[in-house]
Amino acid sequence: MQSELPSNLVNKIPVTIINIFSVFQKAGFEIYLIGAGTRNLLLGKKIVDPDFTTNATPEEIQKLFPDSFYDNQFGTVGIKIGDEVFEITTYRTEQGYSDRRHPDKVSWGKTLEEDLSRRELTISSVAVGPNKNNQLEIVDLYGGMEDLLKNHLVKTVDNPSKRFSEDALRMMRAIRIATQLSFTIEPKTFQAIQENAGLINQIAAERIKIELFKILKSDYPADGFTLLLSSELLEQILPELMEGYGMAQAKHHIYDVWTHSLMALKFCPSSDPLVRFATLLHDVGKPAVAKGEGEARTFYNHEVVGTAIASRIADRLRFSKDEKNRLLTLIRWHQFTVDEHQTDSAIRRFITNVGKQNLQDMLDLRVGDRLGGGARETSWRLEEFKKRLVEVQKQPFSINDLKINGNDVMKTLGIKPGPKVGEILNKLFEEVVEDKKRNTRKYLMERIKELG
């Protein structure tokens, strides 16, 4: 089906994209916006990271854009316009997927129809571009418009088992796109995901992590993980979470371990996918330390064991060093207490363990944890604890925070570097910890003389 693009949508296309269309059209080539860019346009959303498809070969594209780059076998050329990079891919046909991810053979296609036939989802196979009359048109060969705007359906272009066996990552993308758009997955497509779930283990961990984080960044990440569970992908990707499925908890908890984790994710106020992931995994150690039965069950030291489990997950999913450290910190220390009788020293130890840069993330995890357990978002103790965190951070945390240093000690006492300098600095720091008002240069210089 081909139809003219409505004028209200034409006006939503950025000038840069219109200019790209113009360059190709003047050179006698076809060019179409495809995939997520078209989906966003038709849904009235901002076009982000647009992709294009064309009948121009990579070499012909590079002649049109001399500063472009091309270093892959899949016909994708990157062109830079201003601060943006746009990917333009030659029409192609594909054969064989022996690694369940990439085609063994790629051939340049001659028609848009050939290219659209290889697309995985109907809603990703709708193309928008200029026709021979210089009018922007919509090309929809597989009912993608109806699935996108009316049915709100995620459905494969061809036989779903065939599509997923070709590229197993397509199963994750189907879940992710359904989550991002709040769409339903068509029954036969969903059944095919369940039947082929084991193939996901043939996909590189880095690719799986990218899709997981896109789900976590969506507006309804808990819905995405519910889909991952029911599709049987979750037990392949994160089997550790399945250990808590149906495991009852005691005291204030109204859900089993898995449901509590899912609800904690749902209510976590942070938009950071890593913080959301830590919230989902915060109780992953509970099944391993569980003692007792039913509501009498206990989970002592689950945060310690959970940190070790999360470390293995982070390694498996190829987290960066910084990502892993943040994840483990949030899980290891999430069991912090908010007793109003805590000393400043106890609060200071908490801040040191968590890190000042992670405090808000930890508080967001706690909010998710509370709401995910059926409690109110906060309590007067938690609010007092937040105030204490602010106040205690105004206090010195190390010798480096003193208003004097080792040079002042040596100069005042006329001594050389040695143990005595450290002893005096430590003594002064202890005094300042007891009373932050003592951290003035005048007071400390006087004390150096007295201690010397």
CATH at 161: 1.10.110.30
Q: Which residue has the higher pLDDT, 311 or 8?
A: 311
**CATH number of the domain where residue 313 is located:** 1.10.3210
Mean pLDDT of 175-196: 97
Check whether 206 has a pLDDT greater than 60: yes
Q: Report the amino acid identity of residue 373.
A: G
Quick one: pLDDT at residue 348? 86
344 confidence band (pLDDT: 50, 70, 90): confident
Last residue of a domain, one of 216, 237, 258: 237
Window from 51-55, 362-366, 410-414, 428-432 with minimum mean pLDDT: 428-432
Confidence at 70, pLDDT banded by 50, 70, 90: confident
- Using the structure block, give the residue that is written with the tokens 């879940």: 175
Structure tokens at 221: 């990440």
- pLDDT of 252: 67
Identify the band that residue 248 occupies on the pLDDT scale cut at 50, 70 and 90.
confident
Domain of residue 91, CATH code: 3.30.460.10
Banded pLDDT at 50 (limits 50, 70, 90) = very high
Residues above pLDDT 90, as percent of the chain:
69
- Are residues 92 and 210 located together in one domain of the fold? no
Q: How many domains does the chain have?
A: 4
Dist. CA 385–CA 391, nearest whole Å = 10
440 pLDDT band, cuts 50/70/90, is: very high
Residue 427: pLDDT above 60?
yes
Question: Which domain-ending residue is among 203, 237, 271?
Answer: 237
Question: Are 360 and 436 in a shared domain?
Answer: no
Among 2-16, 70-84, 139-153, 221-235, which stretch is predicted with the lowest mean pLDDT?
A: 70-84
Residues 156 and 146: their CA atoms lie apart, in Å, by 13
Q: How far apart are the first and last CA of the chain?
A: 90
The pLDDT score that the predictor gives to residue 396 is: 65
Indicate the average pLDDT of the chain: 91
254: containing domain? 239-394
Same domain, 272 and 347: yes
What pLDDT, on a 0 to 100 scale, did the predictor assign at position 138?
A: 96
- 363 and 384, same domain (yes or no): yes
pLDDT over threshold 60, residue 125: yes
436 and 375, same domain (yes or no) = no
pTM of the full structure:
0.84
Instruction: Read off the pLDDT of each residue in 396-407 and give the average, rounded to a whole number.
Output: 84
Instruction: Tell me, yes or no, whether 77 and 107 share the same domain.
Output: yes
Mean pLDDT of 256-260: 93
CA distance 159 to 192: 9
Three-state DSSP string of the chain: CEEECCHHHHCCCCHHHHHHHHHHHHCCCCEEEECHHHHHHHCCCCCCCCEEEECCCHHHHHHHCCCCECCCCCCEEEEEECCEEEEEEECEEEECCCCCCCCCEEEECCCHHHHHHCCCEHHHCCEEEECCCCCEEEECCCCHHHHHHHHCEECECCCHHHHHHHCCHHHHHHHHHHHHHCCEECHHHHHHHHHHHHHHHHCCHHHHHHHHHHHHHCCCHHHHHHHHHHCCCHHHHCHHHHCCCCCCCCCCCCCCHHHHHHHHHHHCCCCCHHHHHHHHHCCCCHHHHCECCHHHCECCCHHHHHHHHHHHHHHHCCCCHHHHHHHHHHHHCCCCCCCCCCCHHHHHHHHHHHCHHHHHHHHHHHHHHHHCCCCCCCCHHHHHHHHHHHHHCCCCCCHHHCCCCHHHHHHHHCCCCCHHHHHHHHHHHHHHHHCHHHCCHHHHHHHHHHHC
Q: Average pLDDT, stretch 138-146?
A: 95
Domain end (from 98, 121, 151): 151
Specify the pLDDT at position 99. Answer: 54
Decide which of 290 and 219 is more confident. 219
Q: Tell me, what's the pLDDT at 254?
A: 77
Q: Residue 361 and residue 271: Cα distance in Å, rounded?
A: 10
Q: What is the pLDDT of residues 350-361, one digit of tens each?
A: 998 999 999 999
Residue 325, pLDDT score: 97
Query: In terms of domains, do 38 and 100 share one?
Result: yes
Domain identity same for 321 and 416: no
pLDDT at 72 exceeding the cut of 60: yes
Predicted confidence (pLDDT) per residue in 7-26, tens digit? 889 899 999 999 999 999 99
Strand pairing category for 51-54 and 84-90:
parallel
Q: Are residues 49 and 88 in the same domain?
A: yes
My answer on whether 404 and 365 are in the same domain is no
Same domain, 215 and 325: no
| Encoded tokens for 403 | 């208003």
Q: Note whether 381 and 249 are same-domain residues.
A: yes
Q: Indicate if the pLDDT at residue 105 is higher than 80.
A: no
